[in-house]
Amino acid sequence: MNGTNVSKHVLERLAEELPELTPEARKAATYVLENPLDVGVSTVREMAEAANVKPNTLVRMARQVGFEGYEDFRVPFRDAIRRGAADFPDRARWLQGIRKTGDLGGLYADMVQDVLRNVEDTFAGITTDALEAAADAIWNSRNVYVLGVGVHNSNVRNFTYLASTGMTEIHAIPKPGSTPVDDLAWADEEDVLIAITCKPYRAEVVEAVEIAREQGLKIVALSDSPASPILRVADHPFTVAVDTPQFFPSSVSIIALLETLLSFVVAVASERIVDRVETFHKRRHALGLYHSEAE
């Protein structure tokens, strides 16, 4: 079924009821069984046209398997897409479908709800001991490499920028014109790699983590599932919740966790980090980088 486990119990029920359906409803049900992702991203008219049936046929089919109507039938399929059980294009089409129905208020509510839930779910699964252990590894390393590509590249660079106010050997990778593997060529057991990737997992990040592991680096990994290939090999694995109605994984909980991790690094560090932060900001003030109202 297009490589997805979307609403498995609904599809199983639909398959069981198939012999009892009218010929037209059976035609509609067959289309749903063969194209389950279309249910979450298409309107009833679009589905009816694709299945070559009338819209009312889809309504009758939905009622046959225990739903009040076709919109109720769509809910589990839409939820599955929202939670990542579909590729980016399907999720983008689903967002367009919301716009067509005029239910942007519902989209707004879903966004807010997921942002809050993601942060809560992420931190509910993380202990202070785990954060402290990762922070100790980061502070006591020779070099810290922070790896993220695509949507996570900006998260990596933001974390690296903030950390560089007190840490002198922290590097966002891949560097311009380079690759993660090249950037880690001379790293070893004295160094730490912080890596981020979420489904669909980026091959270059997974490869870099595997190579870093072989070279003896300590791995701090952030990903969206305990089954993630980078979490399975990490010394300090952190599972982040990234559910969202949009078509890319949400970065909110990732940013929150990175900021929290950095605060732990400062907390476990020696007093040198305070001196560095103070020197950094004094220099910026001296260079006139901060705006001040004319007296």
pLDDT at residue 83, rounded to an integer: 56
Tens digit of each residue's pLDDT (9 = 90 or more) over 228-264: 999 999 999 999 998 776 657 789 999 999 999 999 9
pLDDT greater than 90 at residue 152: yes
pLDDT at residue 270, rounded to an integer: 64
Pairwise CA distance, residues 229 & 207, whole Å: 10
Pairwise CA distance, residues 292 & 61, whole Å: 67
Tens digit of each residue's pLDDT (9 = 90 or more) over 254-290: 999 999 999 999 888 867 776 666 776 677 667 777 7
pLDDT at residue 64, rounded to an integer: 82
Pairwise CA distance, residues 207 & 212, whole Å: 9
pLDDT at residue 5, rounded to an integer: 44
**Confidence (pTM):** 0.64
pLDDT greater than 60 at residue 87: no
pLDDT at residue 6, rounded to an integer: 42
Tens digit of each residue's pLDDT (9 = 90 or more) over 30-50: 888 887 777 776 778 888 998
Token pair of 23, please?
Answer: 């010929």
Q: Which domains does the chain have, with CATH numbers?
A: 8-81 (1.10.10.10), 117-286 (3.40.50.10490)
pLDDT greater than 50 at residue 2: no
The full 3-state SS of the chain, as one line of letters, equals CCCCCCCHHHHHHHHHHHHHCCHHHHHHHHHHHHCHHHHHHCCHHHHHHHHCCCHHHHHHHHHHCCCCCHHHHHHHHHHHHHCCCCCHHHHHHHHHHHHHHCCHHHHHHHHHHHHHHHHHHHHHCCCHHHHHHHHHHHHCCCCEEEECCHHHHHHHHHHHHHHCCCCCCEEEECCCCCCHHHHCCCCCCCCEEEEECCCCCCHHHHHHHHHHHHCCCEEEEEECCCCCCCCCCCCEEEECCCCCCCCCCCCHHHHHHHHHHHHHHHHHCCCHHHHHHHHHHHHHHHCCCCCCCCC
